[in-house]
Amino acid sequence: MKTALVIDDDPIVLTLLARTLEDAGWDVLKADAGDTGVALAIEHRPELIVTDLLMPRFNGYQVCRAIRSAQTYFPQPRIIVVSSSNYATDRANSIDAGADDFLLKPIKPVDLLHLLDIEGGTTFLRRSDLMGSKSAAPPDTAFFRHAIGSPPTVQFWGVRGSIATPGPSTLKCGGNTTCVEVRADGELIVFDAGTGIRNLGRKLAGEFKSQPIEVTILITHTHWDHIQGFPFFIPLYVPQNQIRIMGYEGSRIGLQSVLTSQMESPFFPVSMQQLPGYLKVQELKEMEFNIGKVKVTAAFMNHPGICVGYRLETSGGSIAFIPDNEPHSRLRMAPVTDSTQSHEVLAYAQKQDEKLIEFIRDCDVVIMDSQYDGVEYKSHIGWGHTCVDDAVALAVIANVKKLFLFHHDPDHDDAKVESMEEWARELAAIHGSKLQVDAAREGVKVVLNRATA
């Protein structure tokens, strides 16, 4: 009997796929995580592997690469990647990582069986993963720390999406790309390293002068507008500083490789290895962890590639950062001819969006992708971003206290962003909600103080 291995962290999907294959005469092995799946595969060498894409710890791309690089695994299996991601780039990345086929969730058993009837099985040469991080002993110094007991703060250094847009038309909101500073409970945490991180670095250098600082940079994903400012972050060039970068694997190559390669010649004159500061790139495996006393939760977002949002629990309240996301139900509402399929797909998409609502539930401050207005969104379906109407609706349903519209479109001038802000406030009032809405503006600082809020 032929053997298949199914890997999915969603128990319902895992059972459905396994049962479908068992009914079709396969002997089925099951794993609820990528790394345990790979171990099972190496041990039993199934002819077929069906793997989910977005899994914590070890994603579907990593599964494909691990299998394709296992030289003792011969003959190589057929690998089918299944995912809720409907983006062409994720299909292409899956194939590039070594998958033979890609199936979009929700999976109909008949679709999987139909695919298995078609001959497949091309294998690809894998590029080796450049893992590991620059290692140097942390300097034995007393670092600046945000004073425990003083209220946490959030400050915007870059609020623009896609590309920086300096100029007279963006003076009020700012033209720098994604970067937000949080100081809370002894920690200095930075969300993303878009071009805004340059001004943050300048401010830190002026504020702390020769006093060393310890910074944690949380990367949501490695699109340019979230990492391009990194080489211009002055604290990297001060030997006594300690900089920790945390993020998830970047779909084609590891986080370390992405950050290193944008600093390689001919793109940049100073390589990552030449930076004098203590620097550690940590590729995250868990979706919950702590930075000192701050609890961090991450969740995968619906955006091309591997992209997460973060939620911080601080002594002054909670902060969620979701710069790039497209609600599943919006994306999947496109008309289809088969009404049953349409109903199933919509129900599935709504369930995915409910996960996001739970992720931001009762949050004090949510910084959320609101790139388009409702009309613009119609011509940008599938670009991976939210329209302002949906951002407000999600925040209202989740009982969020304060929403910042974020990731402003590069084509939006101050007047446009402010008109979207007005509309968002009207919408919140129409919903009968107390939700406060502001457009994120460079330089604005918010003090979180749950006790006095």
Residues within the interface to Zn ion (CB under 5 A): 161, 223, 225, 324
Q: How far is the CB of 336 from Zn ion (least distance, A)?
A: 27
Q: How far apart are CA 92 and CA 87, in angstroms?
A: 9
Which residues have a Cβ under 8 Å from the Cβ of 200 and sit 6 or more positions away?
157, 179, 181, 190, 233
Nearer to Zn ion, 154 or 301 (CB): 301
- Give the three-class secondary structure for 296: strand
Helix (H) or strand (E) holding 428: helix 414-430
- Give the three-class secondary structure for 93: helix
Nearer to Zn ion, 164 or 236 (CB): 164
- Give the three-class secondary structure for 268: coil
Nearer to Zn ion, 34 or 161 (CB): 161
Nearer to Zn ion, 302 or 315 (CB): 302
CB 54 within 8 A of CB 302: no
Q: How far is the CB of 188 from Zn ion (least distance, A)?
A: 23
Nearer to Zn ion, 158 or 161 (CB): 161
Nearer to Zn ion, 66 or 388 (CB): 388
Phi, psi of 257 (to 5 degrees): -65, -40
Q: How far is the CB of 228 from Zn ion (least distance, A)?
A: 11
Q: How far is the CB of 307 from Zn ion (least distance, A)?
A: 6
Q: How far is the CB of 224 from Zn ion (least distance, A)?
A: 8
Q: How far is the CB of 220 from Zn ion (least distance, A)?
A: 8
Nearer to Zn ion, 161 or 277 (CB): 161
Quote the tokens at residue 37: 């799946």
- Give the three-class secondary structure for 196: helix
Q: What residue number has its CB nearest to Zn ion?
A: 223
Query: C-alpha distances in angstroms, 309 versus 122, 225, 437?
Result: 35, 15, 19
Nearer to Zn ion, 223 or 330 (CB): 223
Q: How far is the CB of 255 from Zn ion (least distance, A)?
A: 15
Q: How far apart are CA 71 and CA 247, in angstroms?
A: 29
Q: How far is the CB of 372 from Zn ion (least distance, A)?
A: 13
CB atoms inside a 10 Å sphere around CB 375: 8
Instruction: Examine residue 239 and say whether the peptide bond preceding it is cis (omega within 30 degrees of 0).
Output: no
Instruction: Examine residue 75 and say whether the peptide bond preceding it is cis (omega within 30 degrees of 0).
Output: yes
Q: How far apart are CA 260 and CA 280, in angstroms?
A: 12
Q: How far is the CB of 62 from Zn ion (least distance, A)?
A: 20
Phi, psi of 233 (to 5 degrees): -85, 105
For the chain, the 3-state helix, strand and coil shares in percent, each to the nearest 5, are: 30, 25, 45
Q: At what angle do helices 34-44 and 60-68 cross, to 10 degrees?
A: 30
Nearer to Zn ion, 31 or 193 (CB): 193
